[in-house]
Amino acid sequence: MKRRKFLKKSSIGTAGVFSTPLIASCQETSKDSSLLNDDTKITRPIVVCTWNFHNATAKAWEILSSGGNALDAIEQGVMIEEADTKNQTVGVGGRPDRDGNVTLDACIMDKDSNCGAVLCMQNISHPISVARKVMEETPHVMLAGKGAEQFAYEQGFEKTNLLTEQSKKEWLDWKKTSKYETIINIENHDTIGMLAIDENGDIAGGCTTSGMGYKYAGRVGDSPIIGAGLFVDNEIGGATATGVGEEVVRTVGSFLIVELMRQGKTPQEACEEGVKRIMQKNKGRKDFQIGFLAINKKGETGGYCIHPGFSYSQYTKEGQINHPAESFIKA
Ligand code: ASP
């Protein structure tokens, strides 16, 4: 029996016990064979994203299906939502903070574990592209606030007003009571997190958001935090999150899910475990939503959430499909 087949068989039902040898096997194997049986069905290229952002997965698919790489597919895919003024949770048109300023968060991660992020950045419509520039053009991973904005101008990005009339009107209405509360599954929870595997089998991911509507000035959630809102390990897979970022940060959600896949869990099982960890720390609390999405090296996918309503969009050679995710709390 080949060594990796043995490891795979040994791991069934004993993932935790065998986590060390599995990690060792990952380091030894080539990118195409880590944790995979020889007879495993591999789906690629493939792109998935949180919620039903089918225009974004369609754009990413255009790139992947013509031989493009996963990183380009991610950037251009999520840019569709960043540019959509009707989407009030990402990019231009995003809901402002409680002072009326739209501040954007985004991060991106590639097959070599390079990553870049911008936090709380104003006046720039494509934070994902600035995050990519941080990754490629600086020695840093994260730039925040004025520094991120300044860097964007230096890189040739234009100053843009991100506050649309619609978002301004709603913010002015909100100001009448200024009540901050989490509203489950209405449109202020629709961060786009995207994961893709290209024809070469390389994985990349990105996550971009305007964050929680009417948040405190300066608030940053999980979305631009590598390990929380997004994590990619080219040997294993990737994960991304949407929902109340504070809770995702507390469990380093996306990193946790990738590590659970490393130990042998399927993407579905790993997402379920991720949500359960959060619920264990929030016993009895039901007033918030989180959705996790994951993909493994084979192109298997999974999603899980706290409340019904979360779904993810997927594009492969079979076409486009929206998967409603199972939830911890049933309807
Ligand atoms: N995760 C995002 C944040 O906490 C919000 C969301 O997904 O809606 O900023």
pLDDT tens track for 231-287: 999 999 999 999 999 999 999 999 999 999 999 999 999 999 999 999 999 998 888
Determine whether the shortest distance from the Cβ of 134 to ligand 1 is under 6 A: no
DSSP SS3 for 243: strand
Determine whether the shortest distance from the Cβ of 243 to ligand 1 is under 6 A: yes
DSSP SS3 for 134: helix
- Tokens 């089998």 map to which residue? 201
Give the position, in ligand 1's atom list, of the atom nearest the Cα of 211: 9
Looking at residue 13, what is its pLDDT?
Answer: 32
Domains in the chain: ranges and CATH: 1-31 (no CATH), 44-327 (3.60.20.30)
Looking at residue 25, what is its pLDDT?
Answer: 33
Q: Which long-range contacts (CB under 8 A, 24 or more apart) does 21-28 make?
A: 22/262, 22/263, 22/264, 23/262, 26/235, 26/236, 26/262, 27/235
Looking at residue 24, what is its pLDDT?
Answer: 32
Q: How many CB atoms lie within 10 A of CB 13?
A: 9
Average confidence score pLDDT of the chain: 88
Determine whether the shortest distance from the Cβ of 223 to ligand 1 is under 6 A: yes
74 with 84: CB under 8 angstroms?
Answer: no
Q: Whose CA is nearest to atom 8 of ligand 1?
A: 189
Residue 157 token pair: 């990005």
Residue in 251, 271, 258, 266 with CA at minimum distance from that of residue 205 = 258
What spacing in Å lies between the alpha carbon of 3 and ligand 1's midpoint? 42
- Residue 3: pLDDT band by 50, 70, 90 thresholds? very low
- The single residue of 57, 89, 191, 251 carrying the catalytic annotation is 191
What spacing in Å lies between the alpha carbon of 245 and ligand 1's midpoint? 5
- Residue 7: pLDDT band by 50, 70, 90 thresholds? very low
The answer to whether residue 81 scores a pLDDT higher than 70 is yes
Residue 133 token pair: 């520039």
What spacing in Å lies between the alpha carbon of 244 and ligand 1's midpoint? 5
What spacing in Å lies between the alpha carbon of 283 and ligand 1's midpoint? 21
Percent of the chain predicted with pLDDT > 70: 85
Determine whether the shortest distance from the Cβ of 228 to ligand 1 is under 6 A: no
Average pLDDT over residues 162-171: 96
- Residue 184: pLDDT band by 50, 70, 90 thresholds? low
Looking at residue 18, what is its pLDDT?
Answer: 29
Angle between helical axes of 70-83 and 127-137 (0-180°, round to 10): 150
- Tokens 């609390």 map to which residue? 285
Q: Comparing 8-12, 245-249, 292-296, which segment has the lowest mean pLDDT?
A: 8-12
Q: Judge whether 191 counts as a catalytic residue.
A: yes
Determine whether the shortest distance from the Cβ of 89 to ligand 1 is under 6 A: yes
The answer to whether residue 71 scores a pLDDT higher than 90 is yes
Give the type of residue at 12. Answer: I
Determine whether the shortest distance from the Cβ of 245 to ligand 1 is under 6 A: yes
Give the position, in ligand 1's atom list, of the atom nearest the Cα of 242: 7
Give the position, in ligand 1's atom list, of the atom nearest the Cα of 215: 9
- Residue 298: pLDDT band by 50, 70, 90 thresholds? very high
Of 181 and 138, more confident: 138
Report how far residue 156's alpha carbon sits from residue 171's, in angstroms, rounded to the nearest whole number: 30
Q: How many CB atoms lie within 10 A of CB 150?
A: 12
DSSP SS3 for 270: helix
DSSP SS3 for 309: coil
Give the position, in ligand 1's atom list, of the atom nearest the Cα of 50: 7
111 with 86: CB under 8 angstroms?
Answer: no
Is the alpha carbon torsion for 278, 284, 288, 289 positive or negative?
positive
Give the type of residue at 272. Answer: E
The residue count of the chain comes to: 331
Looking at residue 179, what is its pLDDT?
Answer: 78
Q: Whose CA is nearest to atom 4 of ligand 1?
A: 245
Report how far residue 300's alpha carbon sits from residue 221's, in angstroms, rounded to the nearest whole number: 27
What spacing in Å lies between the alpha carbon of 127 and ligand 1's midpoint? 15
Looking at residue 191, what is its pLDDT?
Answer: 93
Q: Comparing 20-34, 222-236, 250-264, which segment has the lowest mean pLDDT?
A: 20-34
The answer to whether residue 4 scores a pLDDT higher than 80 is no
Looking at residue 21, what is its pLDDT?
Answer: 32
What spacing in Å lies between the alpha carbon of 285 and ligand 1's midpoint? 18
- Residue 58: pLDDT band by 50, 70, 90 thresholds? very high
- Strand-pairing partners, residue 237, are 233, 296
Looking at residue 289, what is its pLDDT?
Answer: 93
Report how far residue 206's alpha carbon sits from residue 107's, in angstroms, rounded to the nearest whole number: 6
244 with 288: CB under 8 angstroms?
Answer: yes
Render 194-214 in DSSP notation, one character per residue.
EEEE-TTS-EEEEEEE--STT
